[in-house]
Amino acid sequence: MKYIESRKLENWFGLFGVMGFITYLLAVFISPRAYPGYDWMGQAISDLSALSAPSRELWMQIVFVSSACGLSFALLTCLYAQNRLNKTLRTGIYLFAILSWVDTIGYTLFPLTESGYAGTLQDVVHVFIVTFAVLALSITMFILFIIGGFRSKQYQSIAIIAAICLCGLIIGTVGMVVAPLGYGGLMERICIFSSQGFSLVLGLYVFIGFDLIEGNLSQR
């Protein structure tokens, strides 16, 4: 109880990141129930929100909550970062906020027209422009967290986590290209959860406090 009472307002911002990830996870696991014949191993998560997908309505209802939490967390985390951490880590957090908005707005405005890839202009924007922007921002963000974390000894754990997530992102991205037919969905999930999972981690760091987490880890 004493620990909870000691939390400052900006620490509570972190719970938005935790709730955003949990509700997104629910959307990924629950929405396929409204999509008969959906193959999570072979089909992309974006298929669940395609304009013609039977699961689109359910997906949008759940992801509305996830997006609201995620976008709120992205902005509030920028406030948390003020006068904290080093410049590189702060830049990484600001880029995280930009990434969150690009991801949410981009995929909301340009969903797939049909499951798979129908080749329309909207599909081209979804697959090649929005996805490329999200991938580029994610890689840059992780690199900044890695550099900023290792630059200051007290923030090395966040750097290690960012490095693990970056490896998952790269493995998943490459896997979608080289994986045997029928495993593209699995590779995409490795890629997406490596990126989305970092918002959960960052939320916990904000809620508990960067210095408190690092201090406890350094004592072990």
Query: Please, are residues 40 and 165 in contact by the beta-carbon 8 Å criterion?
Result: no
Which residues have C-beta within 8 Å of that of residue 27, sequence separation ≥ 6? Answer: 48, 59, 62, 63, 66
Q: Residues 204, 103, 168, 214: what is their CA dihedral angle, to the nearest 10 degrees?
A: -20
Whole-angstrom Cα Rg for the chain: 18
**Model confidence at 197, in pLDDT bands (50, 70, 90)?**
very high
Give residue-wise pLDDT tens across range 23-35.
999 999 999 999 9
3-state secondary structure of 110: coil
Question: Residue ranges of the alpha helices (H) in 82-155?
Answer: 87-109, 121-124, 131-151
Q: How far apart are CA 200 and CA 50, in angstroms?
A: 26
**pTM listed for this prediction:** 0.89
Give residue-wise pLDDT tens across range 39-90.
999 999 999 999 999 999 999 999 999 999 999 999 999 988 888 888 999 9
Percentage of residues of the chain with pLDDT beyond 70? 93
Residue 217, pLDDT score: 52
Give residue-wise pLDDT tens across range 140-186.
999 999 999 998 877 899 999 999 999 999 999 999 888 888 898 99
Residue 166, CA atoms < 13 Å, CB-side half-sphere:
18
Q: State the first-to-last Cα distance of the chain, in angstroms, to the nearest integer.
A: 24
User: Which comes out higher in pLDDT, residue 3 or 181?
Assistant: 181
Give residue-wise pLDDT tens across range 100-154.
999 999 999 999 998 887 789 999 999 899 999 999 999 999 999 999 999 887 7
Which residues have C-beta within 8 Å of that of residue 185, sequence separation ≥ 6? Answer: 39, 40, 41, 42, 43, 44, 45
